[in-house]
Amino acid sequence: MLQVIEHGDVRELRLSTWKSRLAGYGVSAFVARHTLIDAGFPDAAPELAAYVDAHPVDGAVLTHGHEDHSGGVAALLARGVGVHCAAETEAEMRRVERVGMYRRLTWGSRVRLTLPLHVFSPSPALQLKPTPGHSADHHIVWDAERGTVFGGDLFIGVKLRLAHHDEQMRPQVVALREVASWQPERFFDAHRGLLPDPVGQLRAKADWIEETIGRIETLVGRGWPDARIRDEVLGAEDPTGTWSFGAYSKANFVRNVRETMPQAS
């Protein structure tokens, strides 16, 4: 299903399938300045392709290589639509990786990129800015002229207790505070749409992660095991953590904080 939501000069393309909705997920791509920002997920690629056939765009820009943001890239390239992304994102799309069953059930099987990326230079007004943390290759798209951020997965929610196995919590605090310092008037989140209070919500998320890291560090210092820390700070493991076999879980949040704690001199 593709739902079009108008936001003045920005068009939101809300993508979902019955499987993603059953899992409680959908994801949005956006069109701004005749440019598609992100490319949806594999199972929604036919609908995204049909949209682009009916509403041509100059090209596409990607925030990162996760399959719910890059799943339609092959379909775009097959139509001659150029794609612009960071070198790390292109490398991520070209890697051979079988993602977890929960991701395949929700989004469809990840397709390794084999086609060359057509050269596309987006409007200079759309700046790709690195915001690592959610993934090593994560970027946001910043339209300074219009005070608008297309945030990919930088936000998702203030108190997001789940983390991917390779997610880095500390860099997210830095990225959130940096983007908030730009005082954006609008922030479009890939899973939440238009945020009502972008600066306040970005700062609130940064504060919460920072506070949570501090609590975890304190308990690590007391010698607590990860499972006990998780239950104390984040609550018992989420069902998603169970059915993803820990790939997207509260346990990953705790483990990352422990593994990145400064070493005592």
In Å, what is the CA distance from 159 to each residue of 156, 247, 250?
A: 9, 18, 12
Q: DSSP readout, 51-87?
A: HHHHS--SEEE-S--SHHHHTTHHHHHHTT--EE--H
What CATH code is carried by the domain that includes residue 12?
Answer: 3.60.15.10
Task: Give the model's pLDDT for residue 264.
Answer: 57
What's the domain range around 101? Answer: 2-259
Task: Give the model's pLDDT for residue 101.
Answer: 76
In Å, what is the CA distance from 208 to each residue of 119, 159, 215, 237?
A: 40, 7, 11, 19
Average pLDDT by stretches of 10, the chain with 265 residues: 97 95 92 98 96 98 96 96 97 82 81 88 96 98 98 98 96 99 99 98 99 98 98 95 89 98 73
Task: Give the model's pLDDT for residue 265.
Answer: 47
Distance of CA 247 to the CA centre of its chain: 16
Which of 206, 219, 217, 85 lies closest to 139 in space, CA to CA?
85
70, 62 in Cβ contact below 8 A? yes
The count of structural domains within the chain is 1
211 belongs to a structural domain: yes
201 belongs to a structural domain: yes
265 belongs to a structural domain: no
218 belongs to a structural domain: yes
248 belongs to a structural domain: yes
What's the whole-model pTM score? 0.94
264 belongs to a structural domain: no
